[in-house]
Structure 1
Amino acid sequence: MAAIEHIQYVNATPAQVYDALTSERGLAEVWTDDLTVQAVQGAVNEFRFGEAGLVRVKITEWLPRSRLAWRCLDSDPQWIGTQISFDLEAREGKTAVVLRHEGWREVTEFYRWCNYNWAMFLYSLKSYCEEGVGLPFQRRRF
């Protein structure tokens, strides 16, 4: 099975980064502003991307300030059943964020496109945590 893995260093505390990854306000700035989010383990959250589709994920791990994990329930068929995780670690006044998207059955064109877009997600997360403004789907140019 294939996996996507990225790291980003954010000039913010793990608590601030975790809040951005779990709150409606944060996720609306980082990923998409068309969402339904509950910040609790076991919740099923929805992220909508216009004609590009819907992503429904279940929160499977919730460790404040250190780890968040989702299991994809609905999206593009290549995403269904995959796991997305965010591991946070304080390092020299910054937070290292490791994003993993695991469980891909194969490396496809869509996998490669998603790999790029997860890097953009981390850029948006960094921008939001450091400057208060992210780059969600609705403000990106494709």
Structure 2
Amino acid sequence: MNYNIYHNLIIKASLKAIFDAVSQPKHLDNWWTLKSSGIPELGIEYNLNFTDDYNWFCKVSKIEPNKSIHFKMTKSDKDWNSTTFGFDLKTKNNNTLLKFSHQNWQEKNHHFKQSSFCWAMLLNGLKNYLEKGVIVPFKDRT
């Protein structure tokens, strides 16, 4: 059995602004990673660096510019390695609905539950980054 994390939130920003924030390294580093690299194109590898001990890699597994991007983990810890996470965007009442998913967890263990909480906090940071220009220092991110 596989387990999945889902979070939906409304962000007062354009589809393009949100897509850029979840796909471009210069933005990812402002709300999620310490430093990252990659290009939002199908099959391209991203490096998601959080620390020397957490230097992970993934590939773009699905992309529709300004609407959807999903990443398949290729090198991370054992719990994340089998997973795919993604962002789907839809205009809703002059705002954007972001539908986040992190799928194919093998176990509903402590790391799964902790990651669900962390994603909720990080997505709130993404919202504040896009709506208010707030950049939380990396050391203060959950």
Q: If the length of structure 2 is used for normalisation, what is the TM-score?
A: 0.92
Tell whether the 8 Å contact from 1:33 to 1:136 is kept in structure 2 after alignment: no
Alignment of 1:1-142 (within 5 A): 1-50=2-51, 53-135=54-136, 137-140=138-141
**d(CA) in 2 for partners of 1:50 and 1:137?**
10
**d(CA) in 2 for partners of 1:99 and 1:105?**
18
Displacement of 1:136 after TM fit?
5.8
Cα distance per residue 1:76-122 (max 9 Å; x no partner) = 10111211111101100111111100001110001011001111121
Tell whether the 8 Å contact from 1:46 to 1:55 is kept in structure 2 after alignment: yes
Displacement of 1:36 after TM fit?
1.7
Tell whether the 8 Å contact from 1:30 to 1:124 is kept in structure 2 after alignment: yes
Displacement of 1:51 after TM fit?
5.1
Greater CA drift, 56-65 or 30-39: 30-39
Greater CA drift, 109-118 or 37-46: 37-46
Instruction: Give the paired residue count.
Output: 141
Cα distance per residue 1:17-63 (max 9 Å; x no partner) = 00111112211112113212223221110111115512211001110
**d(CA) in 2 for partners of 1:45 and 1:117?**
20
Q: CA RMSD in A?
A: 1.5
**Identity over aligned pairs, percent:** 26
**d(CA) in 2 for partners of 1:120 and 1:55?**
20
**d(CA) in 1 for partners of 2:110 and 2:66?**
33
Give the secondary structure class of the aligned counterpart of 1:50.
coil
Letter in 1 for 2:79: Q
